[in-house]
Structure 1
């Protein structure tokens, strides 16, 4: 009930993941990323534990391919899972279990991988990869472009209701973690609108954490 991508920006080293589903709050269960390590999507009859495990394996020195192979070995009911990973060198790997739901497929290239299940068309993941590679600018802009491309290619077989986008950079927390947990409208466009608002402030929120003396004020109550 989901389509997603994991990606690395070769210019900045940022990692990102974007995801959408007919299920509520999909990003809370399926999105995993760690600065300097990689990004992982764990979806389709989701086991959220697989995301942190894959990141731990990659942080320990495994490539995305080796980490996903180890996930296949260790994971329970792995025939029901989809796991997508990209590592710090831009290598990508995907596992799609044979019990993935409905029309399911996957696509990958250097620095980006996409997968989905219960899709309207088996070309959706390739459209997402192509959309990411064709886009330019900030990784957040490219993630939005990719998800829009997947939606234009058919998206999920039914309407999607939730979406999320996570970006990690050089600090120990996500520099962006935007979510639409449920809407009757398009959750991908909801995330796109959030990104338009958040993107100009992203660096300032990081600066506030690192050294608030140098952070700009936004004129909100208590912010002087």
Structure 2
């Protein structure tokens, strides 16, 4: 179905999410982020309410693990969900329900969390996260952050990505803006049902 990375930049305090899928419109329901609290990816049989709910809990000072646990307890079907949470203030967490499609996996690094399901290769979350972890200290702008997220996701794509084929992609980077605290989006790119969503995402990013 989908593989995602949720991450943060410890130096610039950006928060970034990248997601790739064979499903349509993942950018509308998988990635959620709120500066300065954190980011969430909610996928598999997606319950999009986990995104804003977990961010609300983070804003109240809950750790990533506690926020994830509380939100899952409120869900009647947690076994169908896969969720990643990352915050430079409140930590990292991941959850994969027992009924989400195989192959599935999750990986927690120092600055990122990666999750995936219906994968051609269950090591994709680890490979994506490791690439990001090795590049995170090169981030100096929201643009370079988005580039590194896209490069990391491409590592998963090169391993086969979603079993149905990678057709949809979303990148979201938030941070402090001139309109803070009411608007925090620095980059918000979405590509839907494209035979090469990576190529299209690079073209969009090049125009920013």
- TM-score, with normalisation over the residues of structure 2? 0.91
Partners of 2:202 and 2:65 in 1: CA distance: 31
Quick one: which of 175, 181, 188 aligns to 1:177?
Answer: 188
CA distance in 1, matches of 2:151, 2:132: 6
Q: CA deviation at 1:90?
A: 6.4
Partner residue, 1:41: 41
Q: Distance in 2 between matches of 1:153 and 1:64?
A: 29
Name the structure 1 match of 2:63.
Answer: 63
Tell me which residue corresponds to 1:20. 20
The whole-number CA distance in structure 1 between the counterparts of 2:29 and 2:148 is: 22
Q: Matched residues in 2 for 1:134 and 1:110: separation?
A: 10
Equivalent residues in 2 for 1:120-159 (5 A)?
120-135=120-135, 136-137=138-139, 138-159=144-165
Report deviation, 1:60. 0.5
Q: Give the aligned CA root-mean-square deviation in angstroms.
A: 1.2
Segment drifting more, 70-79 vs 107-116: 70-79
How many pairs does the alignment contain?
197
Show structure 1 runs of 5+ residues with no match: 199-224
Contact kept? 2:106, 2:115, Cα under 8 Å = yes
**Are the aligned partners of 2:40 and 2:83 in contact in 1 as well (CA < 8 Å)?**
yes
Q: Does 1:166 find its partner at 2:156?
A: no
For residues 11 and 189 of structure 1, the distance between their equivalents in structure 2, rounded to whole angstroms, comes to 29
Deviation, 1:5, is 0.4
Distance 1:188 1:60 in 2: 36
* Partner Cα distance (2:103, 2:49) in 1: 24
- The answer to whether the 8 Å contact 1:31/1:51 transfers is yes
Q: Are the aligned partners of 2:132 and 2:148 in contact in 1 as well (CA < 8 Å)? A: yes
Tell me the TM-score normalised to structure 1 length.
0.84
Runs of 4+ residues over 3 Å off in structure 1: none
Contact in 1 for aligned 2:109/2:130 (Cα 8 Å): no
